Amino acid sequence: MFRQALLGVLLVTAASAQANYQCRVNPQDDVVITPRSVQVVGENGNLVIAPDGNVQFNGVAKSLNATQRQQAVNYQQALRTDLPWIDNGARQRVDQGRIALDRIIAKEVGENSNMRGRLTKLDSQLKEQMNRIIEHRPDGLTFHYQAINQVRSEGQQLVNQAMGAIVQDSINEMGAKAVLGGGGNPLQNVLGNLGGLQTAIQSEWKSQEADFQQFGRDVCNKVVSLEEQRKVLVGTLK
């Protein structure tokens, strides 16, 4: 249960960042956002939209009517707004989970616990993985849709490795604490301390679970809306 609670807090947020939160729409295009244009390129062709609504599709400049131009403007504005929103929201929730777990570990185990360092390292590693999906660049963002499955697999491995080490640290540190504390049965003391840590983490997860799940649904809704806008626009261009 201890391990599952930790996995829940950190991994659900990482999954949300992948814009693939058990959603009926799976992105099939990369998105490159710069001040000069938004490019959507992949299995659905190569669409480039300027801020004023000028469009190139598969390398050909398109003559647009007023409706098409407004659709193009709205779509590129939505991408400029929604991708950073997804990225920022996921990162904030990873931070939120790490801070909460760090606070619990410091209280239940101690300020000098090795688990706190492992948690900080895992946080950094997960954010590096997230940056492979929504890449931060000096001139904007790039969404890499093909990185989603790779990051899901590699992120799971990182979490599994870190959690194994954290669980072992908890046993070692609480065992040492029980021996030094003396009195009673050291094994019972260790189990009691682990139970207290597990309960605290489980309680924290329950307090955050609804927010994380709602964020996932919101991400899915935005992805669905973006895909519908792309289909409508490209359909008129063809």
Residues 98/10, Cβ–Cβ less than 8 Å? yes
Tell me if residue 56 falls in helix, strand or coil: strand
CA distances from 95 to 14, 98, 130, 185 (A): 11, 5, 13, 38
pTM of the predicted protein model:
0.80
CB 132 within 8 A of CB 87: no
Cβ-count burial of 197 within 10 angstroms (0-12 exposed, 13-18 middle, 19+ buried)? buried
Where does residue 136 fall: left (phi above 0), alpha (psi -120 to 50 degrees), or beta otherwise? beta
SS3 130: helix
Q: What is the pLDDT along the chain (238 residues), one digit of tens a residue?
A: 344 434 444 444 444 444 344 678 888 999 999 999 999 999 999 999 999 999 999 999 999 999 999 999 999 999 999 999 998 988 888 888 788 888 888 887 778 888 888 888 888 888 888 889 899 999 999 999 888 878 777 877 777 777 777 777 777 776 666 555 555 555 555 555 566 667 777 777 777 778 877 888 888 899 999 999 999 999 998 7
Residue 162: count of CB within 10 angstroms of its CB: 21
Residue appearing with tokens 């058990």: 22
